[in-house]
Amino acid sequence: MQKSSAGDERLEILTSDHLPVVGELEARCFSAPWSVDGIRETLDEGGSGTVLHRGDLLVGYLLTRRLPVGVEILKLGVEPNQRRRGFARRLVQDGLRRWTADGVESVWLEVRESNNAARRLYAGYGFVEVGRRPHYYLAPVEDALVLSLDLGEFPDGER
Ligand SMILES: CC(C)(COP(=O)(O)OP(=O)(O)OC[C@H]1O[C@@H](n2cnc3c(N)ncnc32)[C@H](O)[C@@H]1OP(=O)(O)O)[C@@H](O)C(=O)NCCC(=O)NCCS
């Protein structure tokens, strides 16, 4: 990914330098957060990520990994007091453009059934529900919905 910026916002590749701040943001975004070591392990095993800065503040992150069948979004989080400003959209849109350019065929993710904010966000890009994992999440226990997006339908990367 190239560094890109709009106004005082900029996207960067997630590196180990970002991990302490991303770990704190992860803890503010999820009821059962991953540890910094868990995120680091994902990167060490070939995962990749993007962070979004607004000025000096790291406001959001996206963590993904390659699957045999496409790309999986493992984590997407935006600083609670910076939400509804299009930052998640910026991170997802950047990923979709890159994956489409790379010839990735599909994008997958799991989301809590009650997570209306994320479900709406992903529905806006055309993600559809393709499965359910009963009692997948802890704290609180809840089903995961499996969502998928077929990138082959958007060969020019525009959406
Ligand atoms: C889900 C999350 C990443 C959205 O981040 P955000 O920066 O606020 O999202 P955006 O401002 O880019 O919103 C994009 C769209 O998502 C949907 N959306 C986002 N927050 C929403 C909310 N609270 N209620 C309903 N829809 C919402 C809307 O469709 C929105 O478009 P709109 O503002 O034009 O209506 C953020 O709420 C978050 O970090 N939540 C906790 C972690 C999480 O649930 N991650 C996803 C796990 S799969």
Ligand 1 atom, smallest distance to 109 CA: 48
**pLDDT higher for 112 or 4?**
112
Transcribe 34-82 into DSSP letters: PPHHHHHHHHHTT-EEEEEEETTEEEEEEEEEEETTEEEEEEEEE-GGG
Share of the chain above pLDDT 70, in %: 92
The tokens for 129 are 């529900």
pLDDT for 153 equals 66
Q: How far, in Å, CA of 94 to CA of 1, rounded?
A: 9
151 vs 6: CA distance, rounded Å: 25
Cα gap 65→67, rounded to integer Å: 6
pLDDT tens digits, one per residue of 105-147: 999 999 999 999 999 999 999 999 999 999 999 999 999 999 9
* Structure confidence at residue 152 (pLDDT): 83
**150 Cα: distance to centroid of ligand 1 (angstroms):** 21
Ligand 1 centroid to Cα of residue 59, in Å, is 13
Best residue for ligand 1 mutational test, from 120, 129, 133 (most atoms within 8 Å of Cβ): 120
pLDDT band at 154 (very low <50, low <70, confident <90, very high): low
Which residue segments constitute the domains of the chain, with CATH numbers given? Answer: 4-153 (3.40.630.30)
Q: How far apart are CA 83 and CA 25, in angstroms?
A: 13
Smallest CA-to-CA distance from 62 within 113, 120, 107 is with 107
Residue 125: exposed, middle, or buried by beta-carbon count in 10 A (0-12, 13-18, 19+)?
middle
